[in-house]
Structure 1
């Protein structure tokens, strides 16, 4: 469903991704792991077309995305929840959610509108509250809800539990798992919580210095492997 071939990405003249190859089937859940600064967020930005320069190929459901601008990649089915959530604090919950609908493809008849409020009922309660007045956990729910309203085939989640109060973390984790297991949305997750990655994902990749250095089914994500590639 998603295929990356020899993907490279640059900040100016500095190469941040070096020949990344990756294949992810429809409906699967992939965890992208590694220390800080190894290229995980850069990988997402390259898939979305947000880098200065990229090389290689990106295909979603057999359609080449790498020649396309970001908004057309969204129309093709990419949803994104950035690190830090990226909501607009002066917009209401309703207005932030509406932004997600702008990324829908005109021919896409499917909609997750009802699902957003089923999974995150607090958003329905706070539709007229400004995003900046929500708690961190509520803002993260809003960011995921906005991504759902793009009607994505695949959602890229960049550290969705970072900075969230502990009593909300489990709720957000269970919502992400439900989107994948119950509703068939393909997920790529960047996450520092290894136990969540093990519990939620089908497969993993570990990155170092812009490269994939280990990958496989999640059952192969051993403590020894984590110590080798993620211990400080």
Structure 2
């Protein structure tokens, strides 16, 4: 009888240990899933090596123009300016398609293929201005146009999103807006091929018309 009780105790103890082990293992697996870090890259250049990416630390710039100037110098050195957004479960790297301002390459972009985001306002050529919370609808308007409306983007591959701030603006919403922009672009296109420029708004002001005498 005593041997039977001992065996029963050992069996129960073994089951409890195994049961606790399984629960602990499941909890660990659950924690791993919750803490898994997702890495995503937006605006990757197909023609350039991503290892040429140079990080822009926004905290190191006193004003917006300094940041834009630095992005331009990186581009002129055949490298790629980028910003990395980090949250608890995601690392999102955004590569910018800034042209080298030392040449006139930015002038070949047609105004209808550009969405300008200046401070908290969206500017769309010949369509007027929109509040920033209209970003998703403005993106859809251009992305889904496919050349139908001549005032909108010819196709999503040619679409450029220009971001700028006033010279005295602290651009403290830049990272938040980049997060929102890339997330909404991906939600519409299921793609990460977004083209973003960091610009001084003056660069995108069209030149005055010329009149023949």
TM-score for the superposition, normalised by structure 2: 0.29
Does 1 or 2 have the higher relative contact order (CA < 8 Å, sep 6+)?
1
Q: Which has the higher helix share?
A: 2
Q: Which has the higher strand share?
A: 1
Larger Rg: 2
